A = this chain, B = another copy of it.
Amino acid sequence: MGSINYSGFSLFNIHFPTKLVVHVEVNRLEKLNAFNRDTWTQLRDIFNLISIDPNVRVVILSGAGEKAFTSGLEISPKSMALLNGGDYEEERARFVTRRAIRDFQDSISAIENCLKPVIGLVHGIAFGLAIDILCATDIRICTSDVQFSVKEVDLALAADIGTLQRLPKVVKSLSWCKDVVYTARVFGAQEALEQGFVSKVAENKQKGFEDALELANVIAAKSPVAVQGSKHLINYSKDRTVQEGLEYTATWNAFAIGRDMKDAIAAALSKSKPRYGKL
């Protein structure tokens, strides 16, 4: 249970604003935080580490600078070659394309699979890949200046790393969802709030961070056994029948109920604040 070293990630700022809360910020300022391959590989590795880091209970994910959460996938010859099958030809190249998409999907899914809750803090430009990433976070807060766009259709592409799978399960209206997907139009904070895509709108990035941190601290004070279980079980159950979700949940809690519950009850009875071990 030694502490994990996050210093090797060149494209992200990683620090701990409070104990048990980590702030992960994509940092490619000159590119509006656009993602190249290294960015999504680092993203995956960071969230895989956080998932097992006992010193982290909650994550805040944002983009560096004033202008953008992220402008999306970087359009460079290298990124494109990857999607086009490299040295292979015809159907062989398409095997490679498929594999590249699967890899990229796994990077985004690392956020969802990370056992610690992730709060997405969004400001400025949040295009394409930004939406894929945000759909994989748990709770979303945005600033009033945010510009969202499911941009992929403007690249002549059906979004393939998560938006089409997760967005319809995250927001209120399928009609709205298809509207923003087919048109790739920009929408703002208010519309995102009405649709339930974000839970809160902050005046600016600084205020947004304060909101996110306050929420993170509340969650970080809870039993990590309860919070991590809740995240996993909601994600598991939303995709399955109620009966399957219930059976899996009973099996999960057969191992997850234990000392923390005793501590929580004891604290409640003594009107003290419970303190939970690391996980």
Contacts and interface: CB of A to CB of B under 8 A. Distances in A.
A165 B249 contact: yes
B173 A197 contact: yes
Interface string A189-203: 000000111110000
B241 A240 contact: yes
A222 B154 contact: yes
Interface residues of A, number: 111
Among A223, A249, A277, find the residue whose CB has the most chain B CB atoms closer than 10 A. Answer: A249
A99 interface: yes
Interface stretch (A10-18, A24-32, A36-44, A84-92): A84-92
A124 interface: no
Nearest to A256: B91
A277 B96 CA distance: 14
B90 A254 contact: no
Given A90-B258, A138-B182, A222-B184, A166 B242 contact: yes
Interface in A171-222: 171-179, 181-185, 195-199, 215, 218-219, 222
Contacts of A164: 230, 233-234, 237, 245, 249
A160 B34 CA distance: 40
A219 B183 contact: yes
A179 B1 CA distance: 28
Contacts of A75: 265, 268
A88 B182 CA distance: 23
Contact of A172 (B179, B196, B247, B274): B196
Contacts of A168: 169, 234, 237-238
A251 to B, nearest CB: 5
Contacts of A99: 52
Contacts of A20: none
Contacts of A232: 158
A242 to B, nearest CB: 5
Contacts of A97: 253-254, 257
- Would you list the 5 A-B pairs with minimal beta carbon distance, nearest first? A173-B196, A158-B229, A255-B255, A91-B258, A156-B223
9 contacts: A102-B247, A139-B182, A155-B226, A155-B261, A156-B223, A165-B233, A168-B238, A184-B222, A235-B242
Given A174-B196, A251-B251, A251-B252, 19 more contacts: A75-B265, A91-B258, A92-B277, A92-B279, A97-B257, A98-B253, A105-B246, A139-B175, A154-B268, A157-B229, A164-B245, A165-B242, A165-B245, A168-B234, A175-B196, A181-B230, A239-B240, A243-B243, A255-B255
